[in-house]
Structure 1
Amino acid sequence: MDAATNLSRPIIEALYTEALVLADDVRAVFALGTKEPSLSDNTMVRLALSTEGLKTTTRMMHLLAWLLNQRAYFSGEMTENQVRNHGALPPDRPSDQAQIDLLEPETRALIAETEALHQRIARLDQAWRQQFDLGSPVRAFQDRIGREFAQIDRPAKIRQLGPRQI
């Protein structure tokens, strides 16, 4: 995949529509506040549903925020620099397989779908950001200085060489 050349407004709009539909499904499944848990509900299942629900809704909010930033960029409301500096997609928090196994198959499938969407969008974000990883001369010089200082034992060299020979 080429870096920024494959990221276009139609791709972002299609992903945004997909994410909105998925977010609505997530809300419907994990809206625990709308019903009282019954006494027959297994405590571990309720805990798994709550924990994985939080991870899943957070994942969806991160995806929607990233997509909204991209939409703002393509609409001219954000600059490329603003998106680059403030619009990175946060890394995903993987689901706990032991908790996933406690959930219903439909819920597991929904969680897997959100994880797959996050992986797709993370690849797009990474490809788009790679165009900025070319590095500046200043950054290269700073990295070189950092490597040099990391390789020497500074206190020993200072004592052995004296102040003017460093």
Structure 2
Amino acid sequence: MSSPADLSPTIIDSLYYEALELADEARCAFDLSGRLEETSENPDLARIALSCEALRATTRMMHSIAWLLNQRAYFAGELSEFQLRRYGRLPPAQEDGDPDQISLLPDDLQEIIGRTSRFYARVERLDHAWRDRYAMKPLAIQRLRERLGAAVMSL
């Protein structure tokens, strides 16, 4: 398996502008102002689903944007590598919404929810790949010593 490509300012800027556009699309899409009554059999349940999913999508996008802003600050020299590794973590992904609730929403909202989820997953993969590069991995000799120690202890 090949190693992941390093992050570059170009990749980060491209993702940042994509995140801004998607966040704006989500904001506009979730501003329904009465459309739920026309598209759902149960408007009250649909409003609850809308509130939950709007919060999930918005949170995903804001976490992504914050992570990208930290990366941009690092490339601009405003954050050290230590600061970025310590404070620039991407929060863990949220649980996906209830499919039954999401099905109460119009198709365009379901599509936006899916897009924000996929975008967050992309950023999450980049964050994990970047962090794995700096993870403390024991040397082969240390791993061998640990295995020998475990084998001796089990005798």
> Considering the TM-score relative to the shorter chain, is it more than 0.5?
yes
Structure 1 position 29, deviation (Å): 1.6
Q: Which moved more, 1:61-70 or 1:41-50?
A: 41-50
TM-score by length of 1: 0.74
2:23 matches 1:23: yes
Q: Which amino acid aligns with 2:107?
A: P
2:134 matches 1:132: yes
CA RMSD of aligned residues (A): 2.6
Structure 1 position 92, deviation (Å): 1.6
Structure 1 position 36, deviation (Å): 6.6
- Give deviations 1:114-164, integer Å, cap 9, x for gaps: 010111110000000002212479xx9xxx8xxx9xxxxxxxxxxxxxxxx
Structure 1 position 31, deviation (Å): 3.2
Q: Note the 1:71-82 alignment, pairs <5 A.
A: 71-82=72-83
Identity percentage over the alignment? Answer: 44
Whole-angstrom distance in 1 between the partners of 2:132 and 2:73:
20
Whole-angstrom distance in 2 between the partners of 1:38 and 1:17:
30
TM-score by length of 2: 0.79
Q: Which amino acid aligns with 1:117?
A: F
Q: Which amino acid aligns with 1:113?
A: R
Residues 39 and 110 (structure 1), Cα distance of their counterparts in 2 relative to 1, 3 Å cut: closer
Structure 1 position 54, deviation (Å): 0.5
Q: Which amino acid aligns with 1:29?
A: A
2:96 matches 1:105: no
Q: What stretches of structure 2 of length at least 5 have no aligned partner? A: 151-155
Q: What stretches of structure 1 of length at least 5 have no aligned partner? A: 149-166
Residues 136 and 76 (structure 1), Cα distance of their counterparts in 2 relative to 1, 3 Å cut: farther
Count of aligned positions: 138
